[in-house]
Chains A and B, each alone.
Chain A
Amino acid sequence: MANAVITMLNRPFESWSQAKRQGWATVLLAVVFAVYPFLTDDDSNIDTIANAMSYATLALGLNIVVGFAGLLDLGYAAFFAIGAYYYGIFTAYQVMPHWSSGWEPLAFLGLVEKVNQGSGDLVHFTLSFWLALPTGALVAGFFGLMFGAPTLRLRGDYLAIVTLGFGEIVPIVARNADSITNGAAGLNGVAGPKIGSYHFGVDATPYYYVGMGLVAILIFSSIRLRDSRIGRAWMAIREDETAASAMGINLRNFKLLAFAIGASFSGFTGVFFVSKLQVATPEMFNFSVSSMLIVMVVLGGMGSVWGVVVGAALLQLLQTWILPRSTDLVRYIGESVGSDWLMSADLVQWTQMFFGLIIVVMMLFRRDGLIPATRAQPKLELEEQHADVKRGGFVNVDRIPRWNPQPGNALEIKDVTVRFGGLVALNKVNLTVPAGGVVAVIGPNGSGKSTLFNAITGLVTAEGSIKFEGHELIGLRPDEVLAKGVARTFQNIRLFPKLTVLENVLIGEHCRLKTGPAGAVLRPPSVRAEEKGALRTALDIIGLFGNRLTPRANHTVSGLSYANRRRVEISRALASRPHILLLDEPTAGMNPNETLELAEQIGELNDMGLTILIIEHKLDVVTRLANRVTVLDHGDVIAEGTANEVQRNEEVLTAYLGRAHRAKIEAQDAAEAVAAGGNANG
């Protein structure tokens, strides 16, 4: 057993060496690309690859929005256009206000110059390419926030149509705002980049190297973001918004962040692309660009960084090499068989048809793309698969710090009412949970138990007052409730199915970690230390369940057994280091042995000082664990007391346990009374 835990703790270092191998492969790839221009005489190849690089950067940006955060953005080219026009407007001879002395400081900085066009002195903007790259990213990122904000409340499919609309509006504005953008004709004479006195001009090679640098920066940033607190939060949102929110992720901020970072990648590329072409027209940024990017991401694999790069490369290859060569081949065949139809074929016209076919085929047969984002699952040794029913609670429990409950009530629920339309789901419910105690909520199905949990955790709006450690919880978002120390599990298990056990538990730690997007990319020592600590904590928590979870830490949770998924959900909640744990039917669907095992473990958590509020149907579990039991029926509290008291309560017996059980208890009581009477007589 201890062996398995040690192996797990070593595993991060194993993946480090794997990372090293990947690092060498990347360096090799970079060297190949760096020397390629010296090996070819054909400038058009270099130009083609430089174009492919700009599409790869766009696809990488879209991958953050669509692949990581799961926000289907069909108007992504809008941000590309914004970056492109931003640079174009500030270098072309289009917008030229009259010169006045107020421009002198900018002229001194080299941002503008004075030109004379007969009718007087005018201002010509001369924004440097190298300054435009980061500022273009900022400008596009700002628009990402603007476009993202109204769409935040929308479900995924509406988001697609609204972004499609935005993607259409931006070229329309570019077409109609003649005075700034020169309308449909487009901006001409956009300045190329220069370094010192060296102008890039029309030769493709310098653009090739700049493009290579951009791709490298964006791949690096994407991978760093993916493997950080930020990336995990995005993937959690993609997998299950409700659970992500309940695990402490601020949905609004993280969705906006995805939009902004994705948009800034695109703005970055827009500046590069337009400086290379030296023109910007509205047609360069219409829906067909957005959808080509979607094809790249779908082909490579949504959420897979290398996948989308490969997808971009393949599509570029298809357009510039495969289709023209196939056309030659078809024509050659046509010549030899004497078919006019084949001789006049032009497969390049079919490019977009192939885009459509690629989407359809990938969606039907390989939805995860050519290089799926989810890694292969490590095989388990026989010993690791074997799991005896464990008795006596957790393993290695000393790795987890104990809780110190302060005396008094942890949770005080007063007069809480929840209405769904005309239905009163909870009616002036009162409940207190003493710090360090275990309170169970029981009641028939539909009595409002889960609604009570949803009210506490901010998933439904409630009236009344819910105070936790003195803080009012009503009106807080689920992530704010978690930050106050209230963590929960769900009745119908809401894990993040495509993520691994370890990633699920790490997401539970989200609210306790601090890494921001810049820290995630740059990874300073403080961030490294935080990640390492988070990993250790997650492994310690998973390790509590012995070899139930530890050998499966790198498995996606969708492949786990039902009982193991329950255990992961409890681990995930524990990872937030809550002061109170809300368990919604934790043993549902478990067999008696597994139920007993889990009940003991929950009891042990309580022994360690954790306050617990539990919904449970199995009375033996309730009797074993709970100090107090509250019974709900039709939204009303009908009884409150110890497990034994409520089991003998008239109303409870009729409402919840049914007549048969009531008869049984009454018979028991009668028998006890007879026995007692007999003793007294004897």
Chain B
Amino acid sequence: MTSGDLFLQQLINGLNLGAMYSLLALGFTLVYGIMELINFSHFNVFMVGAFIALGVLKLMGMDGQTVILSGLPLIGVILVTFVVTMFATGMIGVGIERVLLRPLRAVTGPAAMILTIGVSYILFNIILIGVGGDTRNFANPLPSITWAFGGANLRLRDVLIWFIAIVLMLGLTYFVQYTKLGKGMRATAQDPEAARMMGVEVDSVVGLSFFIGSALAGASGLIFGLYYNYAKVDMGFSAGLRAFTAAVLGGIGNVPGAMLGGVLIGLIESSSSQLIGQAWADVIIFSILVIVLVFRPAGLLGRQAPNKS
């Protein structure tokens, strides 16, 4: 492969990772934008999402790379898996908010954030005890269609991941910008108290942002499985930290910012593992996080979160 081909291939890989991180970052940004809370449980909602998707695929008879579908059955299986996974993780998010976080909403200080660390632990151990700690093969029913661009390969899988990510992000943008509930969400992000007085049902807005954020984490978990062909109980930590970095890079609370940040982090990861080595990718990404926070805490597109002081 020439260096041009290599660049193209890393671009393709980077965009796949970027799609995954963007969707995950949206969950951080939505919740932070509304409640000013770093939701550590999001790390493992993502992981649980991958395992739910794995289970759904298994129920439909998909296991490993043995069953390959095409045409309508393929579309049907992919669609069902995404819908079921996203709904399930969305409900997990709503449950966490409703049962555990709502009682703490009036409490100042780090209590809510510490609580989400505990929830993250619990989710982790539910999977660890229930499914086990070893690497699970992730079913992939996609036919191996490949288009060659010079030495770089674009696979059907890549196109599918991009397509799904774009659809979800467009849907979210439409929802936040043009629907009544979306307007309520933006109002709550600016000032929950004022929004409440203007008749926005803040409780449902918060619940909804948890649902959407967690559903997107589920989609992201499924994309992880499709991309790497495995799921593992500790997959959430590193992906979650990268996605959080993406949210901060784009400007926390800022929906387009999270998308941009996710894509950038994906590209940075793929190119840095090419140029410097996979082992140092995390170090580079965390260094970016620190540099952004210190020199440009509002991120690239500007912070949009309430400023409680």
Contact = CB atoms under 8 A, between A and B. Distances in A.
A359 interface: yes
Contacts of B279: 172, 175-176
Interface of B: 36-38, 100, 103-104, 107, 110-115, 117-122, 124-126, 128-129, 237-238, 241, 244-245, 248, 279-280, 282-283, 286, 289-290, 293-294, 297, 309
A629 B24 CA distance: 58
Main secondary structure of the interface of A (DSSP, over half): helix
23 contacts: A151-B294, A153-B297, A154-B297, A160-B113, A161-B241, A161-B248, A162-B289, A165-B241, A172-B280, A176-B279, A291-B117, A291-B121, A349-B128, A350-B129, A352-B124, A352-B125, A355-B121, A356-B125, A359-B114, A360-B118, A360-B122, A363-B111, A363-B112
A368 to B, nearest CB: 10
B122 A356 contact: yes
A201 interface: no
B113 A176 contact: no
Contacts of B289: 161-162, 165
Contacts of A175: 279
A357 B118 contact: yes
A160 B110 contact: yes
B230 to A, nearest CB: 20
B140 to A, nearest CB: 29
B283 A166 contact: no
Contacts of B126: 353
Interface in A345-399: 349-350, 352-353, 355-360, 363-364, 367
Interface in A306-364: 349-350, 352-353, 355-360, 363-364
A298 interface: yes
Contacts of B286: 165-166, 168-169
A69 to B, nearest CB: 13
Contacts of B107: 367
Contacts of A16: none
Interface in A16-40: none
A583 interface: no
A359 B283 contact: no
A353 B122 contact: yes
A393 B118 CA distance: 53
Contacts of A151: 290, 293-294
A589 interface: no
A625 interface: no
A422 interface: no
B118 A358 contact: yes
Given A157-B37, A165-B290, A349 B114 contact: no
A120 interface: no
A298 B119 CA distance: 14
A172 B282 contact: yes
Contacts of A161: 38, 241, 244, 248, 289
A82 to B, nearest CB: 16
A244 interface: no
A8 B103 CA distance: 40
Given A161-B241, A168-B237, A360-B122, 20 more contacts: A74-B117, A151-B294, A153-B294, A153-B297, A154-B293, A158-B248, A164-B241, A168-B282, A172-B280, A242-B309, A294-B114, A352-B125, A355-B121, A356-B119, A356-B120, A357-B122, A358-B118, A359-B114, A363-B115, A364-B104
B117 A158 contact: no
